[in-house]
Amino acid sequence: MKKFFFILFILAGNTITAQTSNDIDAMRRQGEKQRASLDSSMKRSDSILLKQGRYYDSVNLARDMEQNNRNLTSFVNNLREREKKEKQKMWLRIGLGVLFLAIGIFGVTRKRKAKKTTV
């Protein structure tokens, strides 16, 4: 009798938990639909992220270009100012050199004249 109940419970347990092929196919179709919707939503989110990334890249590129232009303009202005100051210093040195040369020549010629008169 125990064997009979044991076999009955085993058969009943298997038949109760068994699923028909229609249920398996329905679950498989439902899983495929969920995967398809997940894939399409991921594609949409990827395309949105790509568009957003392109927009931010173009905005950042414009900002970088503007900043580079400002930096280059500032650099060129500083370079011109420095060259202008260097030219002024160069002319000042040339002028002072010519002045000292004239003073030297004047001094040398004056001393020569003074020596000739005293002799």
**What's the pLDDT score for residue 85?**
97
Domain ranges of the chain: 21-118
- Residue type at 2 in one-letter notation: K
**Distances, alpha carbon 91 to alpha carbons 56, 57, 85, 94, 99, in Å:** 52, 50, 10, 5, 12
Rounded average pLDDT over 86-101: 97
**What's the pLDDT score for residue 21?**
64
**What's the pLDDT score for residue 74?**
95
What is the residue whose two structure tokens read 């997940």?
A: 38
Confidence of residue 75 (pLDDT cuts 50, 70, 90): very high
Give 11-53 pLDDT, tens digit per residue.
Answer: 776 666 655 666 777 778 888 888 878 888 888 888 888 888 8
Task: Compute the mean pLDDT over every residue in the chain, rounded to the nearest whole number.
Answer: 83
